[in-house]
Amino acid sequence: MLAKLHLLSPFSFDSLRTRPLIVLGGLGLMLLLTSAMGIATGAVTVSPSQLIAILAQSAGLDFPWTYDARQEAVVIAIRLPRILLGLLIGSGLALSGATMQGLFRNPLADPGLIGISSGAALAVTAWIVLGGPLMELAGAFLSYASLPLAAFIGSIVATLIVYRLSTQNGRTIVSTMLLAGIAVNALAGAGAGFFVLLATDDQLRDIVFWSLGSLGGATWRAVLTTVPFVGLAILALPRLARSLNALLLGEAEATHLGISIEQVKRVIVVLTALAVGASVAAAGSIGFVGLVVPHLLRLMVGPKHRLVLPGSALLGATILVGADTIARTIIAPAELPIGIVTASLGAPFFLWLLLRVRHQGESGLA
């Protein structure tokens, strides 16, 4: 497996592999710059000095640079929670993708394999079509939180079904989990398609907009709701780097190295389900981040999960914040769904990667 992953490393990245700390430091700097640009860019422009002054004032500090109340309101109430939510979701999706690829020992794996996204899509579609009368009877908070709550519950239920189907006598079989995930994805897709047929035109627009993903609904409440689930995964998953490295050698070899394989599987499935479920609940379905970002990190730092996991979190956050900035400015005052931007960026890279690996295989046979 290590040899296969090594094929993903072109000669131009060899020098980066010898300087992994520089790569991670550069990713951190790029994340800061992308976040600052995202906060400053929009219909209401905010200069770097004004941005520093606004953030400092919010922290109780005083800077001499001036700004008006409209700029402060836009930064604090709209752009800052949007950037923070993008950081959380981008980190959670990319980190979950890297972890799932390590668990399945397959660089094409992503969190959707265990039914997280399809379960959320089924629950959201059903709620949009059938939940109108219930929302009229619900209180203000329940009406506000109903769609994210449906997505979160749907993703968790689908993941539990996949996990239960793949576990026998206390042992989880990864290949069975993959097959169960495919089956659950197919059933959830069929169910979502059925509800789409029942939907009105307005409901169809809501379903399509949710399926393409957006950070347009970001609020401080959404950030605070997402932090516990995604934050737990960001803190805990990198601690499994040694176990994932051992899994690359095979489950038997990892067991001989003292790794509790079943415990690692349970932790990965639970944390990934929580992180991706909360992300999908907050922003809808956003593709390619969990699949492409780990590949980019392996190009830069190699297959060691000690570097791939934190690097994926940094790069995933950077890409999602950058994609969101593009989505809300490229056709302003309208806004593109962020899923269109991430797919437009991720799909060409993935095709290039596929062609490159095929070319290397042909060169190796020559």
pLDDT in tens, 84-99: 999 999 999 999 999 9
Do 181 and 304 touch, CB atoms closer than 8 A? Answer: no
What is the average pLDDT value for the chain, to the nearest integer?
85
Binning pLDDT at 50, 70 and 90, where does residue 105 land?
confident
- As a whole number of angstroms, the distance between CA 98 and CA 107 comes to 8
Could you tell me the pLDDT band of residue 5, with boundaries at 50, 70 and 90?
Answer: very low
pLDDT digits (tens, 9 = 90+) for 165-212: 988 887 888 888 889 999 999 999 999 999 999 999 888 988 888 888
Q: Is the pLDDT of residue 81 over 90?
A: yes
If you search the block for the tokens 């059933």, which residue do you land on?
187
With a CB cutoff of 8 Å and minimum separation 6, the contacts of 244 are 99, 102, 103, 264, 305, 309
Determine the angle formed by the axes of helices 261-283 and 140-165, rounding to 10 degrees.
Answer: 150
Q: How far apart are CA 293 and CA 360, in angstroms?
A: 21
Mean pLDDT of 127-138: 69
Asked if residue 37 has pLDDT above 60, the reply is yes
Calpha distance 303→307 (Å, rounded): 8
Instruction: Report pLDDT for 133.
Output: 59
pLDDT tens per residue across span 65-80: 788 888 888 999 999 9
Residue 363 CB partners (closer than 8 Å, separation 6+): none
* Cis before 333? omega within 30: yes
Segment 142-149 shows an average pLDDT of: 69
Q: Which two tokens stand for residue 184?
A: 């659950």
C-alpha separations of 351 from 90, 97, 111, 298, 343 in Å: 21, 18, 20, 17, 12
SS3 sequence, 128-163? HHHCHHHHHHCCHHHHHHHHHHHHHHHHHHHHHHHH
Residue found by looking up tokens 């979190």 in the block: 313
Question: Is 18's pLDDT higher than 70?
Answer: no
Q: Judge: domain 2-365, CATH 1.10.3470.10.
A: yes
CA-to-CA distance for 159 and 280, rounded, in angstroms? 14
Q: What is the pLDDT of residue 150?
A: 86
Q: What is the DSSP string of 273-291?
A: HHHHHHHHHHH----SHHH
Domain boundaries of the chain, sorted by first residue: 2-365
pLDDT of the residue at 362: 56
